[in-house]
């Protein structure tokens, strides 16, 4: 009884499809199988059965042969096209030789005649369930094995050889470390990578061990294709077949070249420089003194308070040791950077060091007198005996003079870009102050919008070139006093694309930004702009910002074709065009900070008068 119950339990995992057109037989078998199998799907003809199979995970099919629309054998052919291993039981009221031959062709192992022997059917189904379970287990084993193999292949240097030491397989890490391609290795003796420094005794011991069907482990120095060497910690295992004979050898290796070189390096250093403990201490102290005198040193605790600075750090920062030690590291913060930006950057730095990472980066700090100093810094986590971080140390070199030189070069580049931007304006009889005002308006909007300091400065440098494409517009169109006709307007609109074509292939970030500005500053929020008809946030933020800056200045300035608008009329236009021509969020920023815009307008008047 218990054995039968155990046997029936195998059916609980089966999803069964039963295809039968006779309603009485269908209901009888459905009643019999319900509760015994996991899921029972019923179909009344072959076509319906095929669709049910396609849409569900079916383990076993029980089907009649003679049915309307599509018979059982036709359905079985179609299912075998989908899954050649599908398990199918044929049931029929006819013991027809033709049907039997067709079933044999389909390799249908079970062919039952009606009326069905339900006990025999259950036996067949239990056997199918057992086979299915065994297949699933085998697939899982193979899948697990493949995953293990993938992990080993990824993390280790793997090769296989036949019993004579001829290479039959290598993985990618083997190719990378040896310098050989797989095609150069397969079929070759493993001696191809043998290094002359590895003693013959090691190889003799290795071969004696693995031919004795035992695992060999040791360190081997191998030779790369280019003549260099590498050292690997190696395990070689003989693979034995069921007859107890060796089929092949598999070797797993880990690259320990750097570790062995480090050991050798420190061994040589100790032999050369340290004959006793006193000499070791003296050497260490000398190194410390050299670093201390040649570099700026700062140490910071886990609460981000300064615990030590050396003389060089004090000299560059302008603070005394007493003014720094015990104070939070933020005392050195560059006040030109927004607090949230600074906090995010500092959090990333300290969090990385807390994870025992060594950081190399450029750091900008602020001196006691408010000026900035730049350092090339290497920051280390200091560990206690248990390997826990207890403090951070920074070794820095002052590169302020180099940064000043870089800044001077960048300022010169920006000045050249700025002057180039004026070319387009002077051709259309506009003043150079237009580009100054547009650049400054753009910088204000970028800052208030929340762009990063880097993006803000990039747009400030790039926006003067928004109309550089006007160099390609004929004078008679560019400087026409009256309104442009339709053809002239189409010519004028091409200046956006001309500017983009001039700038687009540059690898310089500022000129790349200028290309974007030139191309998109005449697009409109509602999609009615040119040249691309972009809409909403599909328009680059640089273009949306410059559009407001350019229109505000253009309307408030005299041009060859118009007089300056009164401020009230300009503001009314911006209110009306918010959400149409202009990004509404930027229009709000514009109105919220109107005083700043008016001060810039006054400062860069075309008469070059200043705002007091």
3-state secondary structure of 593: coil
**Percent of the chain at pLDDT above 90?**
30
Query: Residue 543's pLDDT is what?
Result: 95
CATH of domain 294-398: 3.30.450.20
More confident residue, 271 or 166: 166
- Mean of the pLDDT values across residues 46-67? 91
Kindly write down the DSSP assignment for every residue of 285-344, as one continuous string. HHHHHHHHHHSEEEEEETTSBEEEE-HHHHHHH---HHHHTTSBGGGG--TTS-HHHHHH
CB 397 within 8 A of CB 375: yes
| 304 φ/ψ sector (left φ>0, alpha ψ -120 to 50, else beta) | left
Query: Residue 320's pLDDT is what?
Result: 92
CATH 3.40.50.2300 maps onto the chain at 2-136
Query: Residue 612's pLDDT is what?
Result: 38
**What is the 3-state secondary structure of 358-380?**
CEEEEEEEECCCCCEEEEEEEEE
pLDDT tens, residue by residue, 398-409: 888 877 777 776
- Mean of the pLDDT values across residues 107-115? 72
- Mean of the pLDDT values across residues 554-562? 76
| Angle separating helix axes 584-592 and 541-555, nearest 10 degrees | 50
Query: Quick check: 275 pLDDT over 60?
Result: no
Query: Quick check: 34 pLDDT over 50?
Result: yes
pLDDT tens, residue by residue, 281-296: 555 565 555 555 667 8
pLDDT tens, residue by residue, 536-545: 999 999 999 9
Query: Quick check: 607 pLDDT over 60?
Result: no
Tokens 């397969």 appear where? 186
Confidence band of 547 (pLDDT split at 50, 70, 90): very high
Kindly write down the DSSP assignment for every residue of 488-557, as one continuous string. HHHHHHTHHHHHHHHHTT--SHHHHHHHHHHHHTT--TTS--SSS---GGGS-HHHHHHHHHHHHHHHTS
Least confident span in 379-388, 523-532, 592-601: 379-388
Query: Quick check: 118 pLDDT over 50?
Result: yes
CATH of domain 413-603: 1.10.3210.10
- Mean of the pLDDT values across residues 151-165? 79
pLDDT tens, residue by residue, 247-258: 899 888 888 888
What is the rounded end-to-end Cα distance, in angstroms, of the chain?
105
Query: Quick check: 527 pLDDT over 90?
Result: yes
Contacting residues for 157 by C-beta, under 8 A, at least 6 apart: 171, 173, 174, 177, 232, 252, 253, 254, 255
- CA distance to 67, 95, 229, per residue, from 195 (Å): 75, 75, 7
Query: Quick check: 609 pLDDT over 50?
Result: no
Query: Residue 286's pLDDT is what?
Result: 55
CATH 1.10.3210.10 maps onto the chain at 413-603
Of 60, 56, 53, nearest in space to 12 by CA? 60
Whole-number Å distance between alpha carbons of 525 and 536: 5
**Percent of the chain at pLDDT above 70?**
83
Query: Quick check: 276 pLDDT over 60?
Result: no
- In the predicted model, what is the mean pLDDT of the chain? 83
- Mean of the pLDDT values across residues 88-104? 69
- Mean of the pLDDT values across residues 313-335? 90
CATH 3.30.450.20 maps onto the chain at 156-260, 294-398
Of 612, 590, 607, nearest in space to 432 by CA? 607
Q: Convert 556-578 to b/e letters by CB count within 10 Å (16 or more is b).
A: bbeeeeeeeeeeeebbebbeebb
CATH of domain 2-136: 3.40.50.2300
Query: Quick check: 610 pLDDT over 50?
Result: no
Q: Domain spanning 156-260: which CATH class is it, in words?
A: alpha beta
Beta bridge partners of 296: 396
Of 469, 522, 529, nearest in space to 495 by CA? 469
Whole-number Å distance between alpha carbons of 578 and 572: 10
Query: Residue 94's pLDDT is what?
Result: 61
Whole-number Å distance between alpha carbons of 514 and 538: 17
Contacting residues for 170 by C-beta, under 8 A, at least 6 apart: 158, 159, 160, 178, 182, 185, 186
CB 88 within 8 A of CB 106: yes
- Mean of the pLDDT values across residues 98-111? 65
Looking at mean pLDDT, say which of 155-159, 310-314, 587-591 comes out highest: 587-591
């Amino acid at each position: 009884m218990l054995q039968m119950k155990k046997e029936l339990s195998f059916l609980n995992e089966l999803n069964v499809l039963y295809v039968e057109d006779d309603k009485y037989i269908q209901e009888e078998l459905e009643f019999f199988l319900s509760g015994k199998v996991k899921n029972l799907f019923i179909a009344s003809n072959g076509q319906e059965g095929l669709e049910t199979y396609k849409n569900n995970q079916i383990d076993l099919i029980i089907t009649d042969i003679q049915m309307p629309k599509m018979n059982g054998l036709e359905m079985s052919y179609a299912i075998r096209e989908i899954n050649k291993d599908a398990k199918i039981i044929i049931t029929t009221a006819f013991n027809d030789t033709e049907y039997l031959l067709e079933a044999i062709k389909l390799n249908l192992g079970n062919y039952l005649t009606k009326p069905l022997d339900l006990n025999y059917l259950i036996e067949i189904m239990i056997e199918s369930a057992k086979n299915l379970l065994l297949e699933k287990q085998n697939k899982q084993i193979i899948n697990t094995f493949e995953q293990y193999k993938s992990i080993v292949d990824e993390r280790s240097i793997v090769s296989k050889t036949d019993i004579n030491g001829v290479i039959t397989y290598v993985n990618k890490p083997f190719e990378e470390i040896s310098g050989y391609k797989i095609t150069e290795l397969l079929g070759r003796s493993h001696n191809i990578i043998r290094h002359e420094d590895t003693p013959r005794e090691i190889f003799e011991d290795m071969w004696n061990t693995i031919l004795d069907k035992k695992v060999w482990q040791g360190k081997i120095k191998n030779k790369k294709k280019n003549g260099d060497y590498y050292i690997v910690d190696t395990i070689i295992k003989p693979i034995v077949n069921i007859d107890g004979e060796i089929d092949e050898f598999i070797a797993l290796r880990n690259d320990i070249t750097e570790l062995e070189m480090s050991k050798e390096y420190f061994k040589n250093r100790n032999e050369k420089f340290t004959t006793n403990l006193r000499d070791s201490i003296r050497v260490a102290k000398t190194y410390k003194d050299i670093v201390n005198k040649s570099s700026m040193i700062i140490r910071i605790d886990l609460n981000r308070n300064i615990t030590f600075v050396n003389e060089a750090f004090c000299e560059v920062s302008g603070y005394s040791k007493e003014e720094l030690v015990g104070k939070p590291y933020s005392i050195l913060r560059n006040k030109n950077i927004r607090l949230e930006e600074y906090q995010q950057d500092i959090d990333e730095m300290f969090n990385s060091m807390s994870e025992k990472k060594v950081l190399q980066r450029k750091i900008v700090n602020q001196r006691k007198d408010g000026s900035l100093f730049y350092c090339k810094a290497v920051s280390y986590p200091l560990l206690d005996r248990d390997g826990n971080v207890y403090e951070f140390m920074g070794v820095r070199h002052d590169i302020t003079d180099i940064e000043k030189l870089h800044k001077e070069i960048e300022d010169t580049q920006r000045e050249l870009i700025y002057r180039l931007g004026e070319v387009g304006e002077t051709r259309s009889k506009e003043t150079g102050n237009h580009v100054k005002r547009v650049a400054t308006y753009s910088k204000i909007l970028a800052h208030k919008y929340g762009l990063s300091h880097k993006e803000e400065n990039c747009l400030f440098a790039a926006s003067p070139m928004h109309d550089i494409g006007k160099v390609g517009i004929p004078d008679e169109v560019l400087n026409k006093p009256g309104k442009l006709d339709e053809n002239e307007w189409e010519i004028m609109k091409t200046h956006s694309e001309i500017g983009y074509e001039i700038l687009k292939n540059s690898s310089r970030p500022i000129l790349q930004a200028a290309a974007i500005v030139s191309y998109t500053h005449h697009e409109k929020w509602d999609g009615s702009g040119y040249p691309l008809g972009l809409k909403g946030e599909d328009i680059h933020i640089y273009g949306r910002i410059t559009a407001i800056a350019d229109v505000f200045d253009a309307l408030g300035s005299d041009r060859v074709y118009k007089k300056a608008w009164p401020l009230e009329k300009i503001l009314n236009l911006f209110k009306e065009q918010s959400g149409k021509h202009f990004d509404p969020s930027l229009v709000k920023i514009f109105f919220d900070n109107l005083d700043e815009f008016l001060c810039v307008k006054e400062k860069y008047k075309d008469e070059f008068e200043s705002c007091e």
